[in-house]
Structure 1
Amino acid sequence: MQQRRTRHRATWATRLAWVLAAALAMTGCGGSNAGDTGTDTVKIGFVGSLSGTYQDVGQEMRDGFQLYLDTHDGRFGGRKVDLVVADEGNGAATALPAATRLVKDEHVAALAGIVASGSYLAISALATEHKIPLIGSNGRPDTDNSDWLWTTSFRSPDPGTAIAPYVKEHVDGPVWAIGPDYKGGYDQVGGFTDTYTKLGGKLANPAGKATWTPFPDTPNYLPYLSQIAKSDAKAVYAFFGGANAVGFVTQYRQSDAKNLPLYGAFLTEGPVLQQQGAAAEGIWNVLNYSPDLDNAANRTFIAEWTTRHADRSPTTYAMAAYDAAAVLDKAIARISGKVTPVKINEAIGQLGQIDSPRGAWQFSPKNHTPIQHWYLRVVRRDGTQLANRVVQDLATIGA
């Protein structure tokens, strides 16, 4: 983790040079370099929101996972991969039946993906019951761990925990906290409010409690924003993703609260940024990845991604799913003989540090979530496009 202080940020022009420089190396890219090169096939299940509120997030995750597989000859640990993809939809009601089919009918050796916290809670119980390793690649609810659960993304409270000290230091007065009314929203906003208030910060919300908006859809945020504008808030902290992030940010700039600094997690991540347009400029946000991080793993990732998705830069969702595939690749490479869920799970626990586009990280032995660094970003113009640009390091979180 020590190299994080020497990272530099790169423009898209620089990243284009990375693409050109890496092109020849990519043409020689084959399967994994280590492990059993047996001819048997490993069936892996991937669950992601391919419809609903978080469709953009699910697509990024699927594309990131598939990218790693495509650039490794369709193999993990030398074994051919049969990838079975299922639609998570909007939450547990659709996600659990999809995952159940993968476990009971498809007999997958491992599960990956999952966008929403509610989906994760339901599928994690399924995975634990059937002793199938689950490598989640989006928000991990703040819940107890089991031996079968792993996450390549983050614990849901972590982004708010990481940025709260910065907000406390730079905002002179109370902050209004707001997010969607579901488990992921509680964890995400709670990470901020718990840390911020422990540091002596005051919430501008009535009774000092965060404001919750209807989920999955809130078409009109203006009543909430009007309330914020009439309060003594000096800034706003928000968590929204997907279509909700577009609605909140665009209406924020139309409201009487528009001049208050806006901080948040995931507000401007992914395709939503271009949909928000100029309304997103100047938003401060916290994340564990940014395309402008200059390290070898990220240069390779950007090069591989751009050859397939030149119209969009990669996101933390794509990166975490890419890393989930890398974890499975490295774990299966350690297995001799037949690949089983038990062997995969044991091998994941032996991996140690993972080289990643975000920078090196490793699983916490306590809860199987990443020990990783977080970054403060701000939305600025990058040529003709809007981009999240890294401003500074924030904190390393994980235990």
Structure 2
Amino acid sequence: MKKVYYTACNECMYQNPGQRMTINDVAGLVGKAYPKAFTSTNLLSGFRSTGISPLDVNVFSENDFVQSFVTDQAAPPVQDVPSRDSGAPLIQPEDPGTSSSATPIPPEESRSASGVEKDEDLPTVEQRTNHEASRFENTTAQLEQREINLEKAAFSSCSPEVLRPHPKAERRTYKTRRLGKTRILTDTPEKNEIAAKKNRKRKPSGKQAKQESCTKCLFKQQAEGTKTANLPGRSVLKASYHQGQGVISPETRSRQCTAIAAAAVAYSSVKDVREWCKTNLDLILITGDSFYRQIDQQRPDTEDGFLMITDIPDQAQLFNAKFALDRTQPIHGLVSQHQSHELVFTLADGVNKVFQQKCTAILIMKDISVMIHACKEDGTCFVFDSHARGNNGLPAATG
């Protein structure tokens, strides 16, 4: 049945290239395989190969059961003891000190045929002593001969299995399973119920509970962001490391900010920027570093190793998905702190002009590339920078 079913699965995949098989395809495949597998020839062959019909008691040899010898357990002996009420005679064990061939001592009450007791018919003390001695010698000789016969029999039937028997596995102990209803354990409600039961069983206490409480508070602060004192209304969320340290490759450190910014642009379409946490920032750094090494291998060697925005490919495979880079008209020029005109504009005016076209873009200032993102729902603006920054978001050597 399995062989025919696998053949049907292969035919299904050949006929539908690029599509995955689902549980909805199982019934149809079984319907194709069942008539081919359960034929009258196969059914009769099953009875014939096992020796059921026609009957063949020698279809299996002793070698077929050798593998089960290790776990084979002998049945406990059952002794049938007759009760006194059943009327069956109770057999008394034979006394080893007696022998059936020994001659019994004539009782003192024995009489002669004439019924007259004579003194010469009674055994003397010497005769009785000799009789007891001969009886003891006969019994001892019989016991010695019996032991010799047993030793000879045991020696003649001795085998390697007697001297060193095969190892036996210990008797298996079975645990009773708690009854429950049939469930799909991968379904979300069932998974949540199982997780809740495990959490109730593992209730920490004492020092462990205090440590877990502190850890939860720390992650909560990192997820929500740390409010800065000198920048009111702003918050900073930090990753575990920046592009020059941590798990970043030493060969690519401090040169891959453009690739990491492009990875952040792609990830903003996967998950809302307002829901990013520390783990998401670490993932963007690692993926952007790998993206830089992929681009650097496909372009000619440069002196500094920095990427330009034109080096970013139009399509890329990031975060287990394919992304296409939407290139709009770039905005470039000189940045002034005070006024704007044709070639010079303030940073705020330039960013607002960018956000009129797209909500996410890459901002390059000198040799630093960052990702900027605007949420039109609440008017907030996010900046993702892979360089070393401090608690206030400003450059810091130890950030």
Which of the pair is proportionally richer in strand?
A: 1
Please give the TM-score of this superposition, normalised by the length of structure 2: 0.18
Please give the TM-score of this superposition, normalised by the length of structure 1: 0.18
Greater RCO, CA 8 A, separation 6+: 1
